[in-house]
């Protein structure tokens, strides 16, 4: 095999695989440390995630969120931007979805109401992300710091709105009134019987179809549109972008806007699909989780679906583990996310020099 | 009610708010100084939060088992230092992305502390509350009792300056030390140089990586102290995500203070005051403005940082080489 | 003889690049030695090895007769070597004093070291006439003064040998004069100076001996008084094996590109283009000759719309662009201009992209390749396959990553992309740089085919023979100025070499210094 081909294999397959395996191995070591047999844990976990239909429902419900935020982080990555503000964008997206519902006529057909709420979520999430994008492109502020600050701003804004402005009258809990039922996205367990299938009740709703559709859309957008092409050139080689007549500033704002819109869709799955009202902290952890999903999925929609499914499985399976072992909770997934980001992101090239030395050493070029 | 008592009440309210400001600023000061070392050397430290949280958990656990706050401090510092070394390994040795690495540590720690807490204490991820020994207690400065009857100054001395624990005093004493190290020692000169132009340092025959490792390690130590303060001095146990964004606020203060020790201290005090103020006015009817929503005040540090970074008020110019791994070979 | 530096058989590779190919060099103590060569000839690498910044793969270094194995700059500094890099190694927000003592602070605390340094720096300043305010911050100093700080830094650390890498590239003529006066003072005190440059005039003006490097190897060692600028220029520029190109006479048509009074100054305030005026007609190749770094890159960037116009105008097919009516690359493309950039990796392609994606860079908004906002990847692949066939790109795999093609095939793909789009005006920078011999002939034929098809071609190259064999007219750039324009039929290497070195320049402040120094 030629050295170039070997290098392509190392970079394209071997390295990412080794990185993910390292993250898994580190998790296994943690299980051993806390006195849990990793194999037993894996079995329990898989049973919890896929062993019964309610579990499956939950698994895919969580997967839906991870797909949205994973796509969000990936689109920004393709433009060379690190969007760490998925948390805030998801939160504000939920607000947009809810406000769309409250502002429209309660008797509006669900066929209009639900698309309107999707639009609201995307608009709000996108607008929230476009501000840091704008500040990066035109004012030179660092997008990472600004998006972090915007996460906190989103959190305080939502607390204020839910406590002071939108709270259900007469209730102590900071949440809004229930949405009218024409703004409820149907549950999968309500739909399946029409196809002669049975499923236990679970929060899984039709947002998952939206997520799959978005994967396709993002793939199509990045690889089949002018704008997507421009985004990828900008992210990979800014000099070539200038040479190619691409307006980088515009691209930064647009990419952030799309990224935020995708993150905002978490609000659809959580609020329109399940809680049916705006509640506090429905978004917690999904924005950061999206970073792990995007890194593991190599920023490709297909990889993101796989990675999101993995984290969805862990999320639901983690809950099952908690029944079995009192010292495990769903936080094990958070640990795993951290490890994935560490090994697939920060330490991405840790094995590279070794692998190259072993498998594709530089041949002497004759002079 | 006489005029005097109202005035007195107001004075006490002010004093108590300022007192709370000092307590709330302490971890910010420590973490911001940690970030200052790291970022002045050119390594972005988003991981302040994670290192502090790990130190919170470590100190609370050790204090629970041993009853010794000093041993707790030592272990917390060690744990935080280890995390700093991971960050260094990823970003200095392997030239990994500094932000990704910091985010990874924050997320990792936020999950790991709960899992370990569950394993060791089975209290939903918390550590048992410390009673008595395991904590750092407040120190009464000499003469505080005697002075309290001296009008104004006496109460100022007793309520504001006296009665904090050792870590508070240490944090504030640290700032002039940092300033001195940064601007009056060889290490400080080289540290500032490596964050501005690592090639200049390298061509002068000084190891860039060595300097950056040392800076990151100092950051680890200081985050360890900050976490210990939060868990076993300010509070008496570890609870889930108890740092509550203090690391990010410290980061904001670092930017707001333009990476200079004294101005960073001011920024920490300002942000600490805003927190203290928000707590005090919660639900209180103020003259003229009425009830101010707490959230608006809480949002001020973040808003200020965004506005500053956008160059609308002054300009925060970061160390020039920040965020860029140093690669020598072409 | 008493040598300050003896390098023997120095060899260094960066991956597959042979940066230094068994290089030998001897420099006499107390002399000024020049090293000339094109960009990428290996001069800077050699000096970095001498300075301990890189380690040679093999070979030996002797300084004042003692053999050394430098593992870092510290050891080279200790051996008496100081270096002034092309890009200054200064900390901008530090004072001059702080910059000078960095790495030689003389103790853990600064106060004492600063005091001692201030004293000895004052002495150095006096001794060598190096005036500079020690308490000024570096970013408040002019480029010329910053360079003095670099020289002070080296001398303060005890340098007996001073290496200067392209020291005049960023200087004004006045500052250059000052620098050369400093050289004279240093030489008088016995300091050995190595001057790396590609400005031949300076070599002639100040050096005692000169070495020429090309493609990593030393190709000549000469006594400066025994040589001439044109001889040096001939040594420097490559002589690639060129095949005979059959050039038919074509009647030049209308003016397609007209450039008037173009001036351009870089961010450091150094003028890079001065009063550039020229026209190119349909069916004509205008060759731009010159030693690299004399304004060619800036010219291409301004013409293609990448860099805004500061002064002057560019007229293309009746449309005029000026500081008020700025061009941009997209607009220029729609005006019928195509651009093959000098640095294909930096600008011309995206290494991570598949060939089919690199093949549409700059044309992704074309109606042929997209339908409104939608791209048509199938058409892109088809286009790429056509390009590959037309230009014999191998392997002809449209899905292969751009980085995995050889240099020649990458270049052919870019040329194909720009040429097959049927432009009226074609800008080409270094068409055969890093291209294997086989592809060179092919590329040359394609360029001539464009000319024969009635296009206006601007060809920038540092290869003189390439310019001579392809151009109808030749324009020589030196230091941002057009030093000559002529018919290619009347040009030869010797006259071009003279123009590239601007040897006929009437006013030459350097001459006086050189002769003045000769008397002492």
| C103/B186 touch (CB, cutoff 8 Å), yes or no | no
More confident residue, C338 or A7: C338
A153 at the B interface (CB within 8 A)? Answer: yes
Per-residue b/e over A240-274, b at no fewer than 16 CB within 10 Å?
bbbbbbbbbeebbbbbbbbbbbbbbbbbbbbbbbb
| B100/A341 touch (CB, cutoff 8 Å), yes or no | yes
Predicted confidence at residue C239, as pLDDT, reads 56
| pLDDT tens-place string over residues C161-193 | 999 988 887 677 778 888 999 999 999 999 999
- Interface subset of C 105-134, CB within 8 angstroms of B: 105, 107-111, 113
Angle between helices C407-419 and C437-452 (to 10 degrees): 10
Give the strand pairing for C284-289 and C473-478. Answer: parallel
Q: How many CB pairs under 8 A join A and C?
A: 81
C74 at the B interface (CB within 8 A)? Answer: yes
Least CB-CB distance to C361: which of A233, A365, A367?
Answer: A233
Tokens of A29: 């070591």
Tell me, yes or no, whether B318 lies in a domain: no
- Using DSSP's 3-state secondary structure scheme, residue A365 falls into coil
Residue B157 gets which letter from DSSP? I
Average pLDDT of chain C to the nearest whole number: 86
Residue C260 gets which letter from DSSP? E
Least Cα distance to C351 among A305, B300, A11 occurs for A11
Mean pLDDT, range C379-400, rounded to an integer: 89
**pLDDT band at C511, cuts 50/70/90?**
very low
Query: Which long-range contacts (C-beta less than 8 Å, at least 24 apart) are formed by A20-29?
Result: A20/A296, A20/A340, A20/A343, A20/A344, A22/A339, A22/A343, A23/A336, A23/A339, A23/A340, A23/A342, A23/A343, A23/A344, A26/A339, A26/A343, A27/A332, A27/A335, A27/A336, A27/A339
As a whole number of angstroms, the distance between CA B32 and CA B222 comes to 9
As a whole number of angstroms, the distance between CA B86 and CA B93 comes to 10
Cβ-based contacts of B311 with chain A (< 8 Å): 139-141
Q: How far apart are the first and last CA of chain B?
A: 78
| pLDDT tens-place string over residues A109-150 | 889 999 999 999 999 999 999 999 999 999 888 899 899 999
Reported as half-sphere exposure (CB side, CA atoms, 13 A), residue B278 has a value of 17
In chain C, CATH 3.40.50.300 sits at 3-237, 255-353+404-519
Cβ-based contacts of C352 with chain A (< 8 Å): 236
Least confident interval from A9-18, A257-266, B38-47, B100-109? A9-18
Compute φ and ψ for C321, nearest 5 degrees.
-110, 140
Reported as half-sphere exposure (CB side, CA atoms, 13 A), residue B274 has a value of 20
Least CB-CB distance to C108: which of B183, B185, B202?
Answer: B185
| B202/C107 touch (CB, cutoff 8 Å), yes or no | no
**Number of other residues whose CB lies within 10 A of the CB of residue C430:** 23
DSSP per-residue letters across C343-366: -IIIII--TTSBHHHHTTTTTTT-
Domain with residue B252: its CATH number is 1.10.3470
- C369 has a pLDDT exceeding 60: yes
| pLDDT tens-place string over residues C465-495 | 888 889 999 999 988 999 989 998 888 877 8
Pair C273, C264: CB distance under 8 Å: yes
Reported as half-sphere exposure (CB side, CA atoms, 13 A), residue A52 has a value of 8
Cβ within 8 Å of residue A144, ≥6 positions away: A82, A84, B46, B99
| B100/A295 touch (CB, cutoff 8 Å), yes or no | yes
| pLDDT tens-place string over residues A295-315 | 999 999 999 999 999 999 988
Tell me, yes or no, whether B81 lies in a domain: yes
Cβ within 8 Å of residue C12, ≥6 positions away: C18, C19, C20, C45, C46, C49, C54, C56, C57
Give the strand pairing for C456-460 and C284-289. Answer: parallel
Residue B83 burial (CB < 10 Å; 0-12/13-18/19+)?
A: buried
Least Cα distance to B228 among B301, B162, B298, B171 occurs for B171
Least CB-CB distance to C74: which of B193, B196, B205?
Answer: B205
- Using DSSP's 3-state secondary structure scheme, residue A81 falls into coil
- Using DSSP's 3-state secondary structure scheme, residue B76 falls into helix
Predicted confidence at residue B329, as pLDDT, reads 57
Mean pLDDT, range C143-156, rounded to an integer: 91
Cβ-based contacts of C94 with chain B (< 8 Å): 192-193, 196
Predicted confidence at residue B301, as pLDDT, reads 87
As a whole number of angstroms, the distance between CA C140 and CA C136 comes to 7
Predicted confidence at residue A6, as pLDDT, reads 82
Shortest distance between the Cα of A350 and any Cα of chain C, in A, equals: 19
As a whole number of angstroms, the distance between CA B273 and CA B296 comes to 14
Predicted confidence at residue C373, as pLDDT, reads 85
**pLDDT band at C509, cuts 50/70/90?**
very low
- C142 has a pLDDT exceeding 50: yes
Pair B76, B227: CB distance under 8 Å: yes
| B103/A84 touch (CB, cutoff 8 Å), yes or no | yes
- A364 has a pLDDT exceeding 50: no
Cβ-based contacts of C116 with chain B (< 8 Å): none
Shortest distance between the Cα of A84 and any Cα of chain C, in A, equals: 24
Q: How many CB pairs under 8 A join A and B?
A: 153
Predicted confidence at residue C80, as pLDDT, reads 93
Predicted confidence at residue B315, as pLDDT, reads 73
Least Cα distance to A266 among A154, A356, A102 occurs for A154
| pLDDT tens-place string over residues C228-253 | 877 887 787 655 445 556 677 777 78
Tell me, yes or no, whether B237 lies in a domain: yes
As a whole number of angstroms, the distance between CA C165 and CA A148 comes to 43
Pair C45, C202: CB distance under 8 Å: no
Q: Determine the Cα angle at B168 with ends B162 and B170, to 5°.
A: 110
- Interface subset of A 201-220, CB within 8 angstroms of B: none
Give the neighbor-by-neighbor strand order of the sheet with C311-316: C271-281, C255-265, C311-316, C319-321
Pair B92, B227: CB distance under 8 Å: no
- C520 has a pLDDT exceeding 60: no
Least Cα distance to B135 among B221, B46, B235 occurs for B235
Cβ-based contacts of B304 with chain A (< 8 Å): none
B315 at the C interface (CB within 8 A)? Answer: no
| pLDDT tens-place string over residues C283-305 | 999 999 987 778 999 999 999 99
Least Cα distance to B271 among B251, B243, B285 occurs for B251
**Residue to substitute from C57, C68, C103, interface B, most B β-carbons within 10 A:** C103
Pair C165, C86: CB distance under 8 Å: yes
Predicted confidence at residue C19, as pLDDT, reads 85
Supply the range of the domain harboring residue B296: 2-135+144-311
| B197/C75 touch (CB, cutoff 8 Å), yes or no | no
B293 at the A interface (CB within 8 A)? Answer: yes
Tell me, what's the ipTM? Answer: 0.90
| pLDDT tens-place string over residues A78-115 | 999 999 999 999 999 999 999 999 988 777 888 999 99
B94 at the A interface (CB within 8 A)? Answer: yes
Q: Which subunits have 3 or more CB–CB pairs within 8 Å of chain B?
A: A, C
- C507 has a pLDDT exceeding 60: no
As a whole number of angstroms, the distance between CA C214 and CA C235 comes to 8
**Number of other residues whose CB lies within 10 A of the CB of residue C125:** 16
| B101/A346 touch (CB, cutoff 8 Å), yes or no | yes
Cβ-based contacts of C74 with chain B (< 8 Å): 204-206
Tokens of A111: 């066929």
Domain C3-237, classified CATH 3.40.50.300, yes or no: yes
| B204/C92 touch (CB, cutoff 8 Å), yes or no | no
Cβ-based contacts of C306 with chain A (< 8 Å): 242-243
The runs of H, that is alpha helices, within B89-243 are 98-121, 144-147, 153-155, 166-184, 186-196, 198-203, 208-229
Predicted confidence at residue C2, as pLDDT, reads 86
Shortest distance between the Cα of A278 and any Cα of chain B, in A, equals: 18
Q: What is the pTM of this model?
A: 0.87
Shortest distance between the Cα of C402 and any Cα of chain B, in A, equals: 21
| pLDDT tens-place string over residues C109-118 | 998 889 999 9
C333 at the A interface (CB within 8 A)? Answer: yes
Predicted confidence at residue C508, as pLDDT, reads 43
| Topology at the third CATH level for domain C255-353+404-519 | Rossmann fold (3.40.50)
As a whole number of angstroms, the distance between CA C232 and CA C248 comes to 33
- Using DSSP's 3-state secondary structure scheme, residue C6 falls into strand
- Interface subset of A 242-271, CB within 8 angstroms of B: none
Predicted confidence at residue C514, as pLDDT, reads 40
Predicted confidence at residue A362, as pLDDT, reads 67
Tell me, yes or no, whether B316 lies in a domain: no
Tell me, yes or no, whether B299 lies in a domain: yes
Counting every residue written for chain C, the total comes to 520
**Residue to substitute from A77, A143, A148, interface B, most B β-carbons within 10 A:** A148
**pLDDT band at A4, cuts 50/70/90?**
confident
Shortest distance between the Cα of C388 and any Cα of chain A, in A, equals: 20
Mean pLDDT by 10 residues, chain B (330 residues): 73 88 95 97 95 97 93 97 97 93 95 92 86 80 76 77 89 96 96 94 91 97 97 92 92 92 95 89 75 83 87 80 80
Least CB-CB distance to B204: which of C73, C109, C110?
Answer: C73
More confident residue, A281 or B316: A281
Tell me, yes or no, whether B320 lies in a domain: no
- Using DSSP's 3-state secondary structure scheme, residue B279 falls into helix
| C103/B196 touch (CB, cutoff 8 Å), yes or no | no
As a whole number of angstroms, the distance between CA C411 and CA C446 comes to 12
More confident residue, A348 or C248: A348
Cβ-based contacts of B197 with chain C (< 8 Å): 89-92
Residue B98 gets which letter from DSSP? H
Tell me, yes or no, whether B189 lies in a domain: yes
Rounded (10°) CA dihedral B268, B270, B272, B277: 180
Least CB-CB distance to C377: which of A224, A240, A243?
Answer: A224
Compute φ and ψ for C515, nearest 5 degrees.
-70, -35
Residue A225 gets which letter from DSSP? B
Q: Determine the Cα angle at C316 with ends C310 and C321, to 5°.
A: 30
Chain B: residue whose CA lies nearest to C76: B205
Q: Which subunits have 3 or more CB–CB pairs within 8 Å of chain C?
A: A, B
A138 at the C interface (CB within 8 A)? Answer: no
Pair C73, C22: CB distance under 8 Å: no
Least Cα distance to B296 among C282, A152, C231 occurs for A152
Pair B264, B39: CB distance under 8 Å: no
């Amino acid at each position: 095999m030629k050295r170039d081909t070997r290098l392509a294999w190392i970079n394209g397959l071997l390295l990412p695989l080794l990185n993910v395996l390292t993250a898994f191995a580190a998790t296994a070591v943690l299980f051993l440390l806390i006195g849990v047999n990793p194999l037993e844990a894996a079995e329990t976990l898989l049973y919890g995630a896929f062993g019964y239909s309610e579990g499956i429902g939950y698994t895919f419900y969580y997967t839906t969120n991870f797909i949205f935020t994973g796509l969000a982080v990936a689109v920004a990555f393709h433009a060379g931007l690190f969007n760490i503000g998925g948390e805030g964008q998801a939160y504000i997206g939920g607000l947009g979805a809810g406000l769309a519902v409250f502002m429209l006529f309660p008797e509006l057909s669900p066929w209009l109401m639900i698309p309107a709420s999707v639009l609201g979520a995307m608009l709000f999430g996108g607008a929230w992300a476009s501000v840091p994008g704008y500040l990066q492109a035109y004012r030179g502020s660092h997008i990472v710091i600004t998006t972090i600050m915007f996460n906190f701003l989103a959190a305080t804004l939502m607390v204020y709105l839910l406590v002071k402005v939108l709270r259900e009258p007469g209730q102590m809990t900071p949440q809004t009134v229930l949405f009218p039922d024409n703004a409820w996205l149907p549950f999968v367990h309500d739909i399946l019987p029409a196809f002669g299938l049975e499923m236990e009740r679970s929060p899984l709703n039709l947002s998952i179809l939206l997520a799959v559709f978005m994967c396709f859309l993002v793939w199509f957008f990045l690889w089949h549109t002018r704008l997507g092409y421009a985004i990828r050139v900008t992210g990979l080689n800014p000099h070539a972008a200038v040479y190619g007549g691409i307006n980088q500033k515009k691209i930064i704002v647009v990419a952030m806007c799309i990224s935020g819109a995708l993150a905002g869709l978490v609000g659809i799955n959580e609020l329109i699909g399940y809680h049916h009202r705006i509640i506090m902290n429905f978004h917690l952890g999904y924005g950061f989780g999206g970073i792990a999903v995007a890194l593991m999925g190599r920023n490709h929609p297909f990889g993101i679906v796989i990675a999101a499914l993995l984290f969805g499985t862990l999320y639901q399976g983690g809950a099952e583990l908690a029944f079995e072992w009192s010292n495990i909770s769903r936080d094990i997934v958070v640990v795993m996310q951290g490890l994935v980001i560490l090994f697939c992101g920060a330490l991405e090239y840790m094995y590279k020099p070794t692998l190259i030395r072993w498998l594709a050493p530089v041949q002497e070029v004759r002079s | 009610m006489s005029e005097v008592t109202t005035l007195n009440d107001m004075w006490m309210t002010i004093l108590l708010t300022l007192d709370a400001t000092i307590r709330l600023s302490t971890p910010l000061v420590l973490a911001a100084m940690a970030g200052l070392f790291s970022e002045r050397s050119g390594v972005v430290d988003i991981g302040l939060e994670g290192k502090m949280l790990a130190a919170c958990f470590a100190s609370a656990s050790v204090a629970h088992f041993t009853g010794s706050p000093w041993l707790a401090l030592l272990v917390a510092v060690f744990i935080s230092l280890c995390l700093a070394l991971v960050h260094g390994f990823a970003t200095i040795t392997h030239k990994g992305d500094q932000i990704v690495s910091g985010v990874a540590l924050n997320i990792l720690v936020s999950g790991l502390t709960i899992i370990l807490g569950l394993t060791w204490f089975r209290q939903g991820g918390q550590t048992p509350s410390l009673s008595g020994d395991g904590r750092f207690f407040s120190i009464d400065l000499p003469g505080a009792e005697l002075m309290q009857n001296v009008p104004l100054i006496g109460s100022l001395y007793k309520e504001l300056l006296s009665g904090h624990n050792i870590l508070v005093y240490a944090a504030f004493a640290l700032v002039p030390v940092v300033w001195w190290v940064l601007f009056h020692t060889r290490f400080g000169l080289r540290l500032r140089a490596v964050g501005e132009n690592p090639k200049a340092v390298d061509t002068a025959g000084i190891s860039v990586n060595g300097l950056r490792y040392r800076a990151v390690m100092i950051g680890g130590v200081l985050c360890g102290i900050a976490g210990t303060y939060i868990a076993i001095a300010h509070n008496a146990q570890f609870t889930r995500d108890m740092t509550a964004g203090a690391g990010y606020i410290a980061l904001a203060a670092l930017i707001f203070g333009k990476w200079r020790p004294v101005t960073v201290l001011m920024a920490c005090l300002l942000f600490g005051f805003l927190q203290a103020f928000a707590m005090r006015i919660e639900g209180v009817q103020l003259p003229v403005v009425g009830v101010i929503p707490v959230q608006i005040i809480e949002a001020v540090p973040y808003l200020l940082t965004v506005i500053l970074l956008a160059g609308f008020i002054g300009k925060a110019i970061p160390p020039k080489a920040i965020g860029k791994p140093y690669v020598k070979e072409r | 003889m008493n040598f300050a530096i003896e390098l023997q058989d120095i060899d260094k590779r960066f991956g597959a690049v042979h940066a230094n190919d068994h290089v030998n060099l001897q420099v006499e103590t107390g002399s000024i030695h020049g090293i000339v060569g094109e960009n990428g000839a290996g001069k800077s690498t050699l000096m970095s090895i001498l300075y301990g910044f890189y380690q040679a793969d093999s070979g030996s270094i002797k300084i004042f007769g003692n053999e050394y194995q430098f593992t870092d700059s510290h050891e080279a500094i200790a051996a008496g070597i100081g270096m002034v890099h092309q890009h200054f190694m200064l900390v901008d927000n530090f004072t001059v004093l702080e910059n000078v003592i960095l790495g030689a602070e003389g103790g853990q605390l600064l106060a004492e070291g600063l005091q001692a340094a201030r004293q000895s720096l004052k002495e150095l300043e006096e001794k060598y006439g190096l005036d500079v305010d020690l308490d000024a911050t570096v970013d408040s100093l002019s480029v010329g003064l910053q360079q003095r700080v670099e020289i002070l830094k080296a001398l303060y650390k005890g340098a007996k040998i001073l290496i200067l890498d392209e020291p005049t590239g960023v200087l004004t003529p006045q500052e250059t004069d000052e620098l050369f006066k400093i050289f004279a003072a240093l030489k008088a005190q016995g300091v050995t100076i190595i001057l790396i440059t590609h400005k031949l005039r300076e070599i002639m003006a100040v050096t005692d001996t000169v070495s020429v490097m090309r493609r990593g190897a030393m190709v000549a060692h000469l006594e400066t008084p025994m040589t001439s600028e044109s001889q040096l220029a001939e040594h420097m520029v490559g002589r690639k094996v060129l095949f005979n190109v059959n050039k038919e006479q074509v009647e030049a048509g209308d003016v397609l590109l007209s450039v008037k009074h173009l001036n351009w100054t870089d961010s450091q305030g150094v003028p890079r283009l001065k009063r550039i005026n020229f026209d190119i007609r349909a069916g004509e190749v205008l060759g731009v000759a010159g030693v690299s770094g004399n304004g060619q890159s800036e010219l291409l960037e301004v013409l293609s719309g990448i860099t805004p116009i500061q002064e002057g105008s560019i007229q293309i097919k009746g449309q005029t662009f000026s500081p008020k009516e700025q061009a941009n690359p997209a607009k220029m493309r729609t005006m019928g201009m195509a651009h093959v950039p000098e640095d294909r990796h930096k600008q011309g392609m995206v290494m991570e992209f598949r060939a089919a994606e690199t093949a549409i860079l700059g044309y992704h908004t074309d109606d042929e390749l997209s339908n409104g906002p939608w791209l048509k990847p199938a058409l892109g692949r088809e286009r790429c396959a056509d390009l590959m066939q037309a230009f014999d790109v191998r392997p002809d795999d449209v899905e292969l990553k751009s980085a995995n093609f050889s240099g020649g095939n990458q270049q052919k793909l870019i040329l194909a992309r720009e040429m097959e789009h049927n432009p009226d005006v074609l800008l080409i920078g270094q068409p055969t740089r890093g291209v294997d011999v086989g592809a060179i002939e092919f590329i040359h034929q394609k360029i001539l085919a464009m000319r024969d098809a009635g296009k206006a071609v601007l060809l920038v190259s540092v290869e003189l023979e390439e310019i001579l064999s392809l151009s109808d007219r030749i324009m020589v750039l030196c230091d941002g100025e057009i030093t000559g324009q002529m018919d290619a039929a009347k040009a030869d290497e010797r006259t071009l070499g003279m123009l590239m070195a601007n040897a006929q320049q009437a006013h030459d402040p350097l001459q006086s210094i050189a002769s003045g120094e000769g008397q002492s």
